[in-house]
Structure 1
Amino acid sequence: MRIVSLLPSTTEILFALGAGEDVVGVTFECDTPAEARQRQIVSTSTIPAGLSPAEIDEYVGAALATGEDLYHLADGALRDLDPTHVVTQDLCAVCAVEVSAVDDALERLGCNASVLTYDPHTVDEVLASIISLGAAIGRTGPADALVASMCARLDAVAARVDGRPRPRVVVLEWTHPPYAPGHWIPEMVQLAGGEPVLGTAGAKSVRVDWSAVHDARPDLVVVAPCGYDRAGAQVQADELVAAGLLPGVPVHAVDADGCWARPGPRIVDGVEELAGVLHGVAVGGSAVGGSAVGGSA
């Protein structure tokens, strides 16, 4: 089996299922686990390096308006790797190569690889999609075990936060301009013992203005900009605080790429961390448990 993974989340899942040796190609964003970085890179982004969040938003908006692809498959990459399976998505044109581009490339090359789409919109769909991906590559047992472990950890969080007051939480998937979250992120807040007050579970993230953020009356703002790790998110969180955009509201930066934006096993890490921030409880493997909302998040 020779697998090309065009999503950081599925690369992580494939390695977690014990199929890392079968992964022959990944994207430039596939950085977890470390071994993934040793695989051939088959797709890159057209977004120039070094742009600010506002400049990225402007670039992406212009590209989508003209129908320009934001991700490119490397010339000849699929032909050279001769994959048996290609894992991609139809969820978001801003996130990765879309399935239509993969289908076109395989048709041009006369390649008969199986194209597997990974398009979860909710937490339950993330879990179900891991099961489906495992079945497609002959790793049903490991997939069942991984999902069981994730569910057990989520159950442990639920037990720790049960009966506690639910702080109002706004998650920002982007800051310049602000975007309210969709897909699985509002559910992550709910699972962590918070009340998501901006954004809709299972729907797309949407652009909002700062008045909507203020009107939501959050007890905590979580800065989780797609494409940024914790350090990058912290820079943006600090800018929001310095600009006085969220007076009196605690702001917490998270590893968006690791635990929020990528629908893989580490969304449970994100839930555990947020439970610690909201309620001052340590859960699972999370070391976070010191700052409840009302203190300095």
Structure 2
Amino acid sequence: MKTFPPERVVCLTEETVETLYLLGEEDRIAGVSGYAVRPKRVRKEKPRVSAFTSADIPKILALDPDLVLTFSDLQADIAADLLREGITVMGYNQRNVAGILAMIRHVGATVGQGQKAEKLAAQYETRIARIANRTTGKPRPKVYFEEWDEPMITGIGWVSELIEIAGGQEAFPDLAGKDKARDRVVTSEQVIAAAPDVIIASWCGKKVRPEKVSARPGWDTIPAVRDGRIFEIKSPLILQPGPAALTDGLDAILEALS
């Protein structure tokens, strides 16, 4: 890192972008992922330099970053390429609510806003606890969260946690803790057997078609299908492990369960 706090930061995923904006440190952002949509003005204010599993390395280098923020093993090759070019890289790997909060605190500390980040994370913790307490002792509908449709992939750790916080019961708790999507593939027969009361889908950039979900063979026996309780949550709200999931994403789950 050439300077501390870093003056020019490139964020290759959405959640670190939103965190820096919330901390009032958006002027440090030199480039973003093409998937960055929060806040809305980021699309007009910051150059896009990457997709999710690919990046324009020359374009990133031309921005002369002090620090590049990446996420997960899926961006490991990008991180390695940048490290070989002498760029400082920080790779996050948050997969649960505690990890999201830790990421917020760490990003804040990295840009010299540790106290502000601590306050923001504490606000989220208080709100989450309040919502969880509000649902204690109430009936918990079983929820199947579908992250992708072909193959069917059930929700990752933080999504499962937020479902429980919102008062639901995760349909596949044994799979929620598995980081890799391939380890969370479920069959139609498994979902039918789980008999979820609510189905929530977020197909990562592809529009959810409830009528196609309900038309799957044998799914007419599922309570969620029978009762018309199939909901979509837009992927930027729930599939990015950052502030969006803890706020608008959680609110969308609460609405689906109401």
Aligned to 1:193: 167
Using a 3 Å threshold, how does the CA distance of structure 1 residues 220 and 254 change in structure 2: closer, same or farther? same
Partner-residue secondary structure (3-state), 2:243:
coil
For residue 14 of structure 2, what is the aligned residue in structure 1? 8
* CA distance in structure 1 between the aligned counterparts of 2:82 and 2:23, rounded to whole angstroms: 27
How far is the alpha carbon of 1:15 from its aligned partner? 1.0
Question: Partners in 1 of 2:13 and 2:205 — Cα distance?
Answer: 12
The question of whether the paired residues in 1 share the 8 Å contact of 2:154 and 2:176 is answered with no
Return the alpha-carbon distance in structure 1 between the equivalents of residues 41 and 50 of structure 2: 17
Q: CA deviation at 1:245?
A: 5.4
Shift of 1:105: 2.9
- Of 76, 101, 105, the residue aligned with 2:82 is 105
Shift of 1:244: 5.6
1:238 aligns with 2:211: yes
Choose between structure 1 and 2: higher helix proportion: 2
Q: Which amino acid aligns with 1:80?
A: A
Question: C-alpha offsets along residues 67-97 of structure 1, whole Å, 9 cap, x if unaligned?
Answer: xxxx332151122110011000224x2xxxx
Contact 2:236 2:244 in 1 (8 A): no
Q: CA deviation at 1:118?
A: 1.5
**Aligned partners of 1:132, 1:245: CA distance in 2, in Å?**
47
Q: Which residue of 1 aligns with 2:231?
A: 252
User: How many residue pairs were aligned?
Assistant: 240
Offset of residue 243 of structure 1: 4.3
Shift of 1:209: 1.0
Q: Are 2:129 and 1:141 equivalent residues in the alignment?
A: no
Asked whether the equivalents of residues 171 and 181 of structure 1 are also in contact (C-alpha less than 8 Å), the reply is yes
Give distance in 1, aligned partners of 2:19 and 2:137.
33
1:80 aligns with 2:62: yes
Identity score, percent:
27
C-alpha displacement at 1:256, in angstroms? 2.2
Measure, in 1, the Cα distance between the counterparts of 2:91 and 2:24: 19
Query: Would the aligned equivalents of 1:18 and 1:142 in 2 still touch at CA under 8 Å?
Result: no
C-alpha separation in 2, matches of 1:254 and 1:73: 27
Q: Does 1:32 align with 2:35?
A: no
What RMSD over aligned residues (CA atoms) do the two structures have, in Å?
1.9
- Partner in structure 2 of residue 291 of structure 1: none
Q: Pick closer, same or farther for the CA change 1:274–1:245 going to 2, 3 Å.
A: farther
In the superposition, relative to structure 1, how do residues 130 and 202 fare at CA in structure 2: closer, same or farther (>3 Å)? farther
CA drift at 1:169: 0.8
Q: Give the secondary structure class of the aligned counterpart of 1:214.
A: helix
* Amino acid aligned to 1:263: P
Please report the TM-score for the alignment, with normalisation by the length of structure 1: 0.75
Map 1:1-297 → 2, pairs under 5 A: 1-37=7-43, 38-44=45-51, 71-91=53-73, 93=74, 98-108=75-85, 111=86, 113-199=87-173, 200-204=175-179, 205=181, 206-228=184-206, 232-233=207-208, 236-243=209-216, 246-247=219-220, 248-249=223-224, 250-258=229-237, 260-268=238-246, 269-278=248-257, 280=258
**Residue type matched to 1:270 in 2?**
G
Q: 2-side partners of 1:103 and 1:198: how far apart? A: 34
Matched to 2:178, the amino acid is A
Counterpart AA for 1:130: I
| Paired residue type of 1:170 | Y
Letter in 1 for 2:187: D
Tell which has more relative contact order, 1 or 2 (C-alpha 8 A, sep 6+): 2
**Structure 2 Cα separation of the partners of residues 79 and 276 of structure 1:** 43
Higher mean C-alpha displacement, 166-175 vs 245-254: 245-254
Q: Secondary structure at the match of 2:176?
A: coil
CA 1:277–1:191 in 2, change beyond 3 Å: closer, same or farther?
A: same
Alignment match, 2:4: none
If the length of structure 2 is used for normalisation, what is the TM-score? 0.86
